[in-house]
Structure 1
Amino acid sequence: MNRAGPRLGEPASLWRMRAVPVATVIAASALPLMLPLIANSPVLPPLGLLFFLCWQLLRTEMWPVWIGLPLGLVDDLFSGAPIGTAVCLWTLASIAIHYFAQRIYWRGFFHDWGIAALLLAAVQAAAALIAHPDAPTGRVLGLVAPQVVISALLVPFFLRLTGRFDNFRLKRR
């Protein structure tokens, strides 16, 4: 049978619906390893965390709350952070997003941006303090501040990019 296109009512590919979100987060976590960037302080935003938060904000019901465990472990392995840092912090961020989703029924763009910026700042600050427990707190947070600002400013771009990936994910065969 030769078909020219998808049939009416045909569902999207189940494989693509499950693999695209996870693959984007894992690829974004691995991307900084492939970039030839040398810096004294953290400059590049946590791309995996940005995609993780954007997927959670865009499709809250898509993933269970515990999805931060495996995706955070992958990010810990790629980033070189102490194992368990992103596992714990991403899971707490996922719990926070599910909490906000239950409390704020009509979220808009600026709500999502504010939630993502707040969670990015909290996760990056906590990760820096966990990675450098002996360093002075003010110095560690001062080093992370530019990375937090850059990450917060990139949230709208990543929300749009996540929306594009979501359209691809839901496209019929």
Structure 2
Amino acid sequence: MSPADPDPFAPALPPGRARALPWASVLAGSLLTAIPIVASVPILPPFGLLMLLTWRLLARFALRPWAAAPLGFADDLVSGQPLGSAVLLWSLCFIGIELVERRMVFRDFWQDWLIASGAIVFCLAVGRVLALPVGARVDGALLAQAAATILLFPVSTRLVAWIDRKRGAA
């Protein structure tokens, strides 16, 4: 038996704790953006959104469809975005992913990455329109932030898969 094989006799997490892990990881991702980091260009990815999309695409039933609203509200409180913007945008992302899933029977990692990329660009672009005046020149930083977030999707997928394996889901 290699270290990569799961131990079938390992005790599983209690059901309440196993259900709370996806919520806690999304909240931890939102809180990660509150860490004060000095940078010349603000390209820190929205880790809460990244974790939410990864949980939705990788483990579909880990978060309920309505979970985007309270998690988005918590992200709004932490990130400083206008209150309700992440609630709206994250809920629209969940609805969009649901519509895509109804059309596609099977998906692979590349399609998940493409779906997440579209949702990330949508959330960042509409969040910019909601939060900043039209004349603000932040488009270069916004593109860099979107690119950094899209490139971090495989890392978040590995992290969510590891958390999902630890919580006892197959």
Paired positions, count? 164
Q: Which has the larger radius of gyration?
A: 1
Q: Which moved more, 1:97-106 or 1:70-79?
A: 97-106
- Structure 1 letter corresponding to 2:28: A
Quote how far apart the aligned CAs of 1:61 are: 2.7
- Residue 4 of structure 2 corresponds to which residue in structure 1? none
Give, in whole Å, the separation in 2 of the partners of 1:6 and 1:150. Answer: 37
RMSD of equivalent CA atoms: 2.3
Matches within 5 A, 1:23-34: 23-34=24-35
* Contact 1:129 1:140 (C-alpha < 8 Å) held by counterparts: no
Which stretches in structure 2 are left out of the alignment for 5+ residues? 1-6
Alignment TM-score, normalising by the size of structure 1: 0.86
Alignment partner of 1:119 is 2:119: yes
In structure 2, the CA distance between the partners of 1:6 and 1:142, relative to structure 1 (3 Å rule), is: closer
After superposition, give the CA deviation of every residue in 1:92-116 in whole Å (9 maximum; x if it has no partner): 0011111122211110010000000
Higher relative contact order (CA 8 A, sep 6+): 1
Change (3 A) 1:44 1:122: same
Quote the residue 2:3 is aligned against: none
Contact 2:25 2:51 in 1 (8 A): yes
Identity level (%): 37
Q: Which runs of 5+ in 1 are unaligned?
A: none
Relative to structure 1, the CA distance from residue 86 to residue 116 in structure 2 (aligned partners, 3 Å threshold; closer, same or farther) is: same
Q: TM-score, normalised by structure 2?
A: 0.87
